[in-house]
Amino acid sequence: MAKETPREQTLVIIKPDGLSKSLTGNILTRLSETKLEIAAAKCLHVSRDLAEEHYTALRHKPFFEEVIKYIMGGYHPRKKVMAMVYVGPDAIQKVRAVTGATNPEEADSVTIRGQYGRITTKGVYENVIHASTSLEEAEREIKLWFEPDEIIYDLYLTKTVEVTVKKRVWTSSVSSPASKTVTPVSRPIIKKSKKIRT
Ligand code: IDP
Ligand code: MG
């Protein structure tokens, strides 16, 4: 009897060029070809700490500073990313297949990077999307980008800890039109009693 393909999870990030070029819909449509399920999604501003931790393996590469600036939105008007967790059989390989090669000029033209990516005159690979490459990388990245309660499934072991921190909440009053200004938020929302991954 054939073995069942293991259920996997993978981190996908639509990078600032994807959002600035309004490619979100196109990218999600391409990703839907994998028939995987989205288990978490959020838009966020990427702090330097998060960017450096995410790309820690590239610390000694000559293009490290450019990659950090790129993921933080330093080259684009929309300084944010959309982070998602996809789950399902063979999720890592399936998402990588539709993502395409790292170098957008070498990526197959039917892949997301081949279709929408470019190399800038400064040599930055604007390749539109990030996708985990292994089970270990996916676990490290998902735990870095998401808290357990932001994902609809318990993908990894968690424990509950008591912490006392300040947290922003909505006010009960209805906003007047004048106060409906849009202010970017980069602070994480921290709960008083929260699960953390072990
Ligand atoms: P991946 O995104 O295909 O997994 P990695 O080697 O993990 O490729 O590199 C992470 C990111 O760093 C790439 O997506 C790309 O934005 C950038 N990058 C990788 N190699 C180069 C390079 O040779 N020149 C410029 N940027 C690069
Ligand atoms: Mg990689």
pLDDT digits (tens, 9 = 90+) for 146-195: 999 999 999 999 999 999 999 999 999 887 766 566 777 766 555 556 66
Taking the C-alpha atoms of residue 42 and residue 83, their distance in angstroms, rounded to an integer, is: 5
pLDDT at 1 (0 to 100):
62
Question: Which DSSP state fits 96?
Answer: H
Taking the C-alpha atoms of residue 6 and residue 180, their distance in angstroms, rounded to an integer, is: 46
Helix axes 24-32, 91-99, angle to 10 degrees: 130
CA of 185 to the centre of ligand 1 (A): 27
pLDDT at 191 (0 to 100):
53
pLDDT over 90 (residue 7): no
Taking the C-alpha atoms of residue 77 and residue 152, their distance in angstroms, rounded to an integer, is: 31
- Model confidence at 68, pLDDT cuts 50, 70, 90, reads very high
CA of 70 to the centre of ligand 1 (A): 11
Backbone angles phi, psi at 70, to 5 degrees: -65, -50
**Beta carbon of 130 within 6 Å of any ligand 1 atom:** yes
Residue 123 CA, closest ligand 1 atom number: 25
Query: CA 197, 140, 90 angle in degrees (round to 5)?
Result: 105
pLDDT at 175 (0 to 100):
76
Give, using CA atoms, the residue closest to atom 12 of ligand 1: 67
Centroid of chain to Cα 100: 16
pLDDT at 173 (0 to 100):
87
CA of 86 to the centre of ligand 1 (A): 21
| pLDDT average, residue stretch 47-70 | 98
**Beta carbon of 63 within 6 Å of any ligand 1 atom:** yes
Residues facing residue 14 across a β-bridge? 82, 129
The single residue of 45, 54, 60, 130 carrying the catalytic annotation is: 130
Taking the C-alpha atoms of residue 106 and residue 21, their distance in angstroms, rounded to an integer, is: 21
Higher-confidence residue of 136 and 192: namely: 136
**Beta carbon of 125 within 6 Å of any ligand 1 atom:** yes
Q: What is the pTM for the complete model shown?
A: 0.90
| pLDDT average, residue stretch 84-109 | 98
CA of 87 to the centre of ligand 2 (A): 18
Percent of the chain with pLDDT over 70: 87
Residue 70 CA, closest ligand 1 atom number: 16
Which ligand lies nearest to the CA atom of residue 99 in the structure? 1
- Model confidence at 5, pLDDT cuts 50, 70, 90, reads low
Taking the C-alpha atoms of residue 69 and residue 67, their distance in angstroms, rounded to an integer, is: 5
Mean pLDDT, the chain, integer = 92
Taking the C-alpha atoms of residue 47 and residue 50, their distance in angstroms, rounded to an integer, is: 5
Taking the C-alpha atoms of residue 13 and residue 134, their distance in angstroms, rounded to an integer, is: 15
| pLDDT average, residue stretch 130-156 | 98
Residue 133 CA, closest ligand 1 atom number: 4
Question: Is 130 among the catalytic positions?
Answer: yes
Taking the C-alpha atoms of residue 31 and residue 174, their distance in angstroms, rounded to an integer, is: 38
Which domains, and CATH codes, for the chain? 7-150 (3.30.70.141), 158-197 (no CATH)
